[in-house]
Chain A
Amino acid sequence: MTILSFTLILLLGSFIAGLLGSLTGLGGGVIIIPMLTLIFQIDIRYAIGASLISVIATSSGAAAAYVREGISNIRIGMFLEIATTVGAVLGAILAAYTTTSYIAIVFGFILLLSAVVSFKHKEEIILNPANSGKLGKWLKLNGTYPNEKGKEIPYGVAKVISGFLMMMVAGLVSGLLGIGSGALKVIAMDNFMRLPFKVSTTTSNFMIGVTAAASAGVYLERGYIDPGLSMPVVIGVLVGAFVGSKLLVSSGTKFLRILFAAVIIFLAFQMIYNGFTGKI
């Protein structure tokens, strides 16, 4: 295969990953790394570098729209970015001391977790701002967000410390594996901090770019970020995610979610198997 055909196939694959990631809300990163390592036999270190770059692109692109609409809570985002960036740098440093087989196995388990989280029945109980803890009030984390009718709904924030620690784990996983680790962020923000879904998904997106940029520095210097590989991946994912965001209204998303989750579970077992047998 020549570089030209390799690039075109990667461009198409990354486009599909970006499209599916955007339609299902799971992000394209979880599918990029298995695609590069399992199908294209690319060393997982190059795959992590390219995925990390694509994560920065899609999250910044999406955050640009959300933040203007005033849905993301920039104070919660900034405060939790302390946790995610510290975690991300630690994760990127840890990656240097971890064999690629272990990374593949951890990746597989995080994939499984993503599939489970995407299927779990979620209940949204908006916390009354008056019931926020002291720390949440001191940090001015309470906010409002516009609902479907454009009415501003006030909300409070619970368990700030647990949320912060969970975010550090999310950052660590992001730095170790080169993904956005949306699943862990959902656990931190929805389950612990009890943020409304709209606020947690958009604020999480807002943070992913900064988190990934924190580990990108370490990966760049270590030579994981290859221009020839990152080019089709970042362009493909970016265009796919953009098209996906325009298609969002479609009613077929439930079917797509199931399909995507099935693909993810399959990839998860592949990654774990390849990790245990030392093929990655």
Chain B
Amino acid sequence: MKQDKLTDKNLEVMMGTLLRYGVLLSAFIVMIGGILYLIKFGNQQPHYTHFSGEPANLINLKSILNDAKGFHSRAIIQLGLLVLIATPIARIILSVVGFILEKDYLYVLITLIVLTVILFSLFSGSVA
């Protein structure tokens, strides 16, 4: 029991560290993209009054990565936002590993269910 408590504490510290660096990394990427975006498009007009949806290249993971590599400012921001979305998901994957190490199989199962729901959302959005 005492051993369990120790691992729970370790897991909590690891989760905290992961969340912190995830948010910081994301904010850093978003800011770089943001500065480039303002330099390039700063004197144009914003239009958000009517919804037209984002172009396909800012929705698809592959093209976001590709465009970000080519220093497209909006794709860099989008990449930062993806890092942010991935942060809580990474926390869940860490929890699965943690609960396996703790041999708490009930919670391995519970955590895997949560992970499945999120991955379903990420990869079936185009179907829905």
Interface of A toward B, CB cutoff 8 Å = 1-4, 6-7, 40-43, 45-46, 53, 56-57, 60-61, 63-65, 67-68, 70, 72, 74-75, 78-79, 81-82, 85-86, 88-89, 92-93, 96, 139-140, 209-210, 212-218, 220-232, 234-235, 238
Contacts and interface: CB of A to CB of B under 8 A. Distances in A.
A103 B86 CA distance: 27
B30 to A, nearest CB: 6
Given A89-B117, A235-B27, A226 B54 contact: yes
Interface string B33-45: 1100110011111
* Chain B interface mostly: helix
22 contacts: A3-B43, A42-B48, A56-B88, A57-B84, A68-B13, A68-B17, A70-B9, A74-B15, A81-B92, A82-B117, A212-B88, A216-B85, A216-B121, A217-B121, A222-B53, A223-B53, A224-B53, A227-B73, A227-B77, A231-B33, A232-B34, A238-B27
* Chain A interface mostly: helix
B51 A79 contact: no
Contacts of A64: 15-17, 19-20, 23
A220 B59 contact: yes
A45 B104 CA distance: 41
Interface residues of B, number: 66
Interface string B117-128: 110111101101
Contact of A210 (B16, B49, B75, B114): B114
A210 B81 contact: no
A67 B16 contact: yes
Given A43-B50, A230-B77, 17 more contacts: A2-B45, A3-B41, A4-B42, A61-B19, A74-B11, A75-B107, A82-B110, A82-B114, A85-B117, A85-B121, A86-B117, A221-B126, A223-B55, A224-B54, A227-B78, A234-B27, A235-B27
Name the 5 nearest CB pairs between A and B, nearest first.
A223-B53, A221-B125, A227-B77, A68-B16, A217-B122
A214 B30 contact: no
A228 B8 contact: no
B117 A61 contact: no
Highest count of chain A CB atoms <10 Å: which of B15, B19, B22: B19
Given A3-B44, A57-B23, A70-B12, A227 B111 contact: no
B65 interface: no
Contacts of B97: none
Contacts of A89: 117, 120-121
A64 B34 CA distance: 25
Given A68-B13, A89-B121, A228-B41, A60 B85 contact: no
Contact of B85 (A43, A63, A220): A220
